[in-house]
Chains A and B, each alone.
Chain A
Amino acid sequence: MNSLVSADFFRAIESAFLEAQKRETVYKSSYHLAGQPIQMQIAGSVLASHTLPPFSHLKAELDNPSLRVLLWDAKATGVPCPLGLPPETRTDEWGSATQAFAYGFERRYVEYRSHVGTTWLDRASNCLYGCYNDASQFTIYDYSRPLPWLLPVWCNDLGVQVVHTGMVSWKGSGVLLAGPSGSGKTTAVLACLSGGFDYLAEDQTGLGEQNGEFEGFSFYNSARVDANHLKRFPHLASHAQRENDQKTLLMLSELFPGQFVGEAPVRIMLLPRVTPRENSTLERATPAEALRTVAANSLMLPIGGGRRGFERLARLVRHVPCYWLSMGSDLGSIPSAVRGALSS
């Protein structure tokens, strides 16, 4: 690697952030995420007000961060986004109509570019920089799950795989909820929260593995809920931020204070499905059914974990009991069914 060129590339990004923080108020805070201390510094009040709330349940006073996240708002600060990875250093480029991802300098750096801005991760120094064009233009989609690509990359490097599941816990015992979009994960999570469970995740969970045991990690306390589904939770509906007739956002930390944990051991996995019955019931799922369900949805996330992720999920479904959660119209029956699964 040409270390001089590499240093120049990242120094330009660091310099831009230093300039941005001279021009706008910097909001500093620390969090305990994926079992690690991380620190965030954000230049720009609107960017901070959009980025920090989804992590607020993980806030902690911590020193020696394992990851430093430094973000600025280009419009608010007047500091434009740097050019980014030099073309000749880019590898493994991936792109779609709305976003692009690339490694640079022999995969030391990772760059993610979307319509809202560009973020860079230095995997050597564990620094994540981000320049956003104009945070005042963010949609619910943009600010409900900040840093959607580079946090999973950093987690992957730590051995924490991001999986497409919800997660709640009861008295310290974690429950993963796996299924495709529309299967009822969010309904199950909200029903369990209303029934006194603690929250970890609504859609994306960090999955760690140590000594044959599995740990779930929380990332966001923000839940994107379809407006039609929210009608089933009238006590929550008035708190939802609405962007249009379809998409709403719930900041769960405001609605269920004290019902949050950053991590919990995974004891069971549930596969929710909606039924026309009134009561919710459980049936044992085979490990193969559980693996099909969780793997297809998790490995096809953009940062899905690949082959090793698949092997980890296979170990998970062999290790923990898995059940179909057939959810009835009586939402109050869901948490009692889940408690029943934990105690069986």
Chain B
Amino acid sequence: MMSSETRFIPNTSEVAAEVLDGEAVLINLTNGMYYSLVGTGGFIWSLLEGGANVNEIVSALVVQYEVKAEQAEKDVRQLIDDLKTEALITDSNQEGGALPSDAPAQRQPYEVPSLKVYSDMQALLALDPPMPDLTDAPWKQPNAKA
């Protein structure tokens, strides 16, 4: 069972992610699987990106949303299991970053975080997988300025 103190980090070597209007969109650039984190999933993803552990995520959820700690912890653990199963996060030894400290004037309605998995690009990629990331491997004149 994962410790409440364990920290996690996005698998940035393979996964790109953006949070837009509270929803996180993630894509695995090597296999074409893509994902949505809905409900409070986008909020939790932002905390994971900051290096938060389970305790810290639960505390932040209870402050920001109308949810009890027991329910929040159950949902966070399930979501983290799902994210690890899809290799979207890994354990981290790094220190945590800043967490949202201000309590809102009114807590928001709680929605269970969930991970939606989209695998429809898999068949296409079985034929022609994407190239190594060109934009991260540019060629420059040997004397060109970076």
Q: Give residues in A with beta carbon < 8 Å to B.
A: 1, 92, 94, 96, 99, 101, 103, 106-108, 123-124, 153, 156-157, 180, 286-288, 291-292, 295-297, 299-311, 314, 317-318
Contacts and interface: CB of A to CB of B under 8 A. Distances in A.
Contact of A288 (B36, B130, B131, B134): B36
Given A123-B139, A124-B139, A311-B18, A295 B134 contact: no
Nearest to A161: B135
B16 A311 contact: yes
A300 B127 CA distance: 11
Given A305-B134, A307-B29, A96 B128 contact: yes
Contacts of B25: 288, 291-292, 295, 314
Nearest to A106: B139
6 contacts: A92-B137, A157-B138, A180-B120, A287-B20, A287-B21, A314-B20
Contacts of A106: 139
A314 B18 contact: yes
Contact of A306 (B18, B29, B139): B29
Closest 4 interchain pairs by CB?
A306-B133, A288-B23, A314-B18, A287-B20
A10 to B, nearest CB: 14
B21 to A, nearest CB: 6
Nearest to B120: A180
B136 interface: yes
A124 B144 CA distance: 11
A337 B36 CA distance: 29
Given A124-B139, A300-B125, 10 more contacts: A99-B128, A107-B137, A287-B20, A292-B25, A292-B34, A292-B36, A292-B118, A304-B29, A310-B29, A314-B25
